Structures are given as C-alpha cells and as structure tokens.
Structure 1
Amino acid sequence: MSLAVEADLSVEIDGHGATVVGYDDVVAVDVPSLPAALALWRGLPVDSMDLGAALASVGLTAELQVRGVPVARVGEDATPSAAARRLGLGSVELVPDGVPLAAVTRRRG
C-alpha cells in the first residue's frame, strides 16, 4: 500500500509557525529555526522508530526542514544514519550539511 500526499498548509506547532507541503510520497515540514525543529521533534506523540515504520508501511517519507534546508528524514526513503542512532534518534536520516547550513541560512521573502 502506498499513499500520495498533496498539501500546502500553514500551521502553528507549540507556538512556532510551520509550513507543511506534501508532494507525491514526501511530506516536508518547514520550521523557522533550529530550536523550533528541536521542539517539534521532542514533542512528537510517537517514538521515531514507530513513526518511521508507519510512514514506510504506506510508502511515505517525512522531511524536517529549517528555513527550507533539509535537516532530517524519516520513513520510506530515509537511510538511518549512525549519528542519529548514537544520539538516540532511532531510524532517522540526518542530512550531514543540513544543521550547519540551516544555522546560517536566511529565508528570502
């Protein structure tokens, strides 16, 4: 079974604005800062292993972005990284250059 997602939402998660864009088999959640990304991750109502398995079971990948820069992926197309496992993040793919790039990138608008 696989799903295709089409979405374009603006939401507020724990006081942080975020956008959610779905296209085909990827759902991208874009937050305004690294602290907002950490708050979102820590506030997940499920374990990352369960989330990854649930997304993979329907052919979806979730991508966490900070100001448009991918920092992590979980689900079907995520390749879990050793760093994520060492940090206790489970089946998460950390984008190697994502965090430093997100820290210095400003959204144009």
Structure 2
Amino acid sequence: MQYVKLGQSGLKVSRLCLGTMNMGSKEWKPWIFNEKESEPIIAHALDMGVNFIDLADFYSLGAGEEVVCNVLRRIARRDDLVITTKVGYAMNNDINAQGHSRKNIFKPQY
C-alpha cells in the first residue's frame, strides 16, 4: 500500500480509503451489509494496509458508524487508523436533526 500526507496535518494515510456507505442496517437500504457481513470487508481492507476509513452520520441514519466502529473495536487498534466522518445531512424529519447549525429564533428578553 502507498501512503500520502493528509493535507498539512502530518498524518499519513493509505492512498485508498475504505468507504462505508454500504455498511449499517438493511432497514435503511436493502443492499446494506450488516455487522457480520461488514467485518470481512473491513478486515480485508486493514490486511491490505488501508488505514483510512470514511464514515458519515447519514449512512443508515447512524447505524453505519456503529457497525463499522463495533468491528474496528474487535479487530484493530484505534491509534493505527485515521477515521473521518461527514455531517450535515438530515437524519430524520425533525428540525433539529439536520444541518450544521441553526439560527437562534429565540430572542432574550432583558
């Protein structure tokens, strides 16, 4: 595996990053791999030298991060990995379950 610097962070990451959109809960999408099905995929990536793993809170509405991290706890050392995630997509229809920030609509009364 080849490794490159991640921007100006000083971290070295594998040129290949393991994307995890396909891991989580079939309740989200029927083609998703559950934890048991995801483990051999993650293990193979790690065996091949991948140390860069990409997640998103949106994947399986949070279950994706849980599945991947449960597997990683069993088979890897956290210090050996660079794990990234994305945020901002709607997790459900609730007004407070989406976006990066919200405008404060409450004005203090002094």
TM-score relative to the length of structure 2: 0.32
Bigger CA radius of gyration: 2
**Structure with greater strand percent:** 1
TM-score relative to the length of structure 1: 0.32
